[in-house]
């Protein structure tokens, strides 16, 4: 049997998708580092409590090239082969994406190619869509534009607000992301 794929997970906040990925890690993949652009991100505390190595550095005052060089160095030092973005709210430079081409995936709270970027739930509700949902995609230089690897649809209910829809979509993300990551690192 092959060794588990070595995955770095990038977060900016509470890290609920990182937690879902960690809880499903095993024979297919292991998390070798949880990295954040926000040293105070609550998800880092969870990672530390659960014995996961962490890296945190704020890009404020050092600039994107220096920040991304340090991030890249930390991921490589941890032995990462793949990157899973899990609520990482910073755009990666084209240069960073090129270094990891075909090895970075992201979870996005819409049914791509609909609603790239932010405010996805409000946009789906305002458009009168019957469903929102989530997508896991390969990260490319185009914002939310890479190959879609998997999706999960979530019905938009009468009276839904962006917040109520977001809660149900997040639950779907927690189911979808680990399953897609397992397939992705083994293909």
pLDDT digits (tens, 9 = 90+) for 143-164: 999 999 999 999 999 999 999 9
Distance CA(29)–CA(31), nearest Å, equals 7
**Which structure tokens are listed for 173?**
């993300």
**Which structure tokens are listed for 23?**
């809880």
Q: In the structure, what pLDDT confidence band is assigned to residue 2 with cuts at 50, 70 and 90?
A: confident
Sort strands 131-138 and 104-108 into parallel, antiparallel or unpaired.
antiparallel
Distance CA(119)–CA(12), nearest Å, equals 17
**Which structure tokens are listed for 1?**
């049997």
Of 143, 144, 124, the C-alpha closest to 135 is: 144
Q: Is 187 helix (H, G, I), strand (E, B) or coil?
A: coil
Q: How many CA atoms lie within 13 A of 146 on its CB side?
A: 19
pLDDT at 41: 97
DSSP state of 41: -
Q: What are phi and psi of 6, to 5 degrees?
A: -95, 115
Confidence (pTM): 0.96
DSSP state of 172: H
pLDDT at 187: 85
| Per-residue model confidence as pLDDT tens digits over 73-106 | 999 999 999 999 999 999 999 999 999 999 999 9
What percentage of the chain reaches a pLDDT higher than 90? 98
pLDDT at 1: 62
H/E stretch holding 134 reads: strand 131-138
| Per-residue model confidence as pLDDT tens digits over 49-82 | 999 999 999 999 999 999 999 999 999 999 999 9
Distance CA(113)–CA(148), nearest Å, equals 9
| Per-residue model confidence as pLDDT tens digits over 16-47 | 999 999 999 999 999 999 999 999 999 999 99
Q: Are 135 and 106 in contact (CB under 8 A)?
A: no
Catalytic residue positions, numbered: 108
């Amino acid at each position: 049997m092959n060794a588990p794929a070595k995955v770095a997970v990038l977060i900016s906040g509470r890290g609920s998708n990182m937690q879902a990925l960690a809880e499903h890690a095993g024979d297919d993949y292991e998390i070798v580092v949880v990295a954040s652009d926000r040293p105070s991100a609550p998800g880092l505390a969870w990672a530390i409590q659960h014995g996961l190595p962490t890296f945190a550095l704020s890009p404020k005052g050092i600039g994107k090239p220096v920040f991304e060089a340090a991030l890249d160095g930390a991921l490589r030092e941890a032995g990462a082969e793949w990157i899973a973005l899990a609520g990482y709210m910073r755009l990666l430079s084209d240069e960073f994406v090129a270094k990891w081409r075909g090895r970075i995936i992201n979870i996005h709270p819409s049914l791509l190619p609909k609603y790239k970027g932010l405010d996805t739930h409000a946009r789906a509700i305002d458009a009168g869509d019957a469903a929102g949902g989530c997508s896991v995609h390969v990260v490319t230089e185009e914002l939310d534009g890479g190959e879609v690897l998997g999706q999960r649809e979530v019905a938009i209910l009468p009276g839904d607000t962006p917040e109520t829809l977001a809660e149900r979509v997040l639950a779907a993300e927690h189911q979808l992301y680990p399953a897609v990551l397992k397939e992705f690192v083994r293909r």
